[in-house]
């Protein structure tokens, strides 16, 4: 049944992706309006995931969300959070690899969401791109979603937290919202099957950048996220 449910989910997801391929037609709209239309796709996929695979989510800590655009530093375990965050946080965009924008149809639609597209091979220049483009997006009213570990990590593991997101918050004077979740337990990286259950998302208290260095902001976010991960991660059975 898990296989059949997961197959049905992917068939439906591909079906709703067909109209999303028309995203370039939205170019004349203002950036925030384009995002409002395009985010309907992720909400449809989440709804279909719940219907077909019984994967739900609950959010703790919504009261911590600030009234102004913020930098979200979040755990990255699967594709799930890139979709679900669009239903949890205000209008947002993401820091991503520039190469993704070159993928036919998918990349064109992604470009319509005003991402911060960086050249990861550019070293310190990539960091400057995050800061410069990130400031512009915040000024436009977007929240910035950044996964400081850079790549998806399996439940129960931890990557190195890069400082770029924290440095953007420091330079822009933007609040930082740390976020933990266990999405990888139900939408595992690289696996076809989607496992039923409720994903837990925990939003932490805002970290204000005033008086803090980027390193201090990053360390505070990392410590909070990992402490929450230890609390919400399902223990792996021994033996």
Report whether pLDDT(208) > 80: yes
Report whether pLDDT(182) > 90: yes
Domain ranges of the chain: 2-232
| Residue 194 DSSP label | -
Mean predicted confidence (pLDDT) in 166-191: 96
* Burial degree of 130 (CB within 10 A; 0-12, 13-18, 19+): buried
Render pLDDT for 67-81 as a digit per residue (tens, 0 to 9). Answer: 999 999 999 999 999
Strand ranges (DSSP E) for 38-189? 55-60, 71-74, 92-97, 116-118, 143-146, 176-181
The three-class DSSP label of residue 8 is helix
Render pLDDT for 132-159 as a digit per residue (tens, 0 to 9). Answer: 999 999 999 999 999 999 889 999 999 9
* Residue 108 pLDDT grade (very low, low, confident, very high; cuts 50, 70, 90): confident
pLDDT of residue 237: 60
pLDDT of residue 98: 84
> Which of 135, 46, 143 minimizes the C-alpha distance to 94?
143
**Consecutive H or E run containing 140:** helix 124-140
The tokens for 100 are 């993704």
Contact 181, 74 (CB under 8 A): yes
Contact 221, 168 (CB under 8 A): no
**Consecutive H or E run containing 203:** strand 197-203
* Residue 239 pLDDT grade (very low, low, confident, very high; cuts 50, 70, 90): very low
List the strands of the sheet with 92-97, edge to edge.
55-60, 197-203, 176-181, 71-74, 143-146, 92-97, 116-118
Task: Give me the architecture of the 2-232 domain, per CATH.
Answer: 3-Layer(aba) Sandwich (3.40)
Contact 82, 151 (CB under 8 A): no
Q: How many CA atoms lie within 13 A of 233 on its CB side?
A: 19
The whole-model pTM stands at 0.93
CA 140 to centroid of chain Cα atoms: 19
Report whether pLDDT(238) > 60: no
């Amino acid at each position: 049944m898990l296989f059949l449910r997961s197959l049905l989910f992917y068939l439906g997801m591909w079906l709703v992706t067909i109209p999303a391929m028309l995203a370039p037609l939205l170019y004349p709209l203002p950036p925030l309006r384009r995002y409002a239309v395009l985010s309907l796709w992720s909400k449809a996929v989440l709804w279909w995931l719940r219907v077909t695979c019984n994967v739900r989510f609950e959010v703790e800590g919504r009261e911590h969300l600030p009234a102004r655009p913020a930098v979200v530093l979040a755990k990255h375990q699967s594709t799930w959070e890139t979709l679900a965050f669009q239903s949890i946080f205000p209008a947002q965009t993401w820091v991503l690899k520039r190469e993704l924008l070159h993928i036919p149809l998918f990349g064109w639609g992604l470009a319509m969401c005003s991402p911060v597209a960086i050249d990861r091979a550019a070293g310190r220049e990539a960091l400057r791109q995050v800061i410069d483009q990130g400031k512009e997006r915040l000024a436009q009213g977007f929240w910035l979603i950044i996964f400081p570990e850079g790549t998806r990590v399996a439940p129960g593991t931890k990557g190195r937290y890069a400082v770029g997101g924290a440095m953007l918050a420091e330079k822009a004077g933007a609040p930082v919202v740390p976020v933990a979740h266990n999405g990888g337990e139900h939408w595992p990286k690289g696996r076809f099957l989607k496992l039923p259950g409720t994903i837990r998302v925990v939003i932490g208290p805002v970290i204000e950048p005033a008086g803090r260095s980027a390193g201090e902001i990053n360390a505070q976010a990392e410590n909070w996220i990992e402490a929450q991960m230890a609390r919400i991660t399902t223990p792996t059975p021994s033996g």
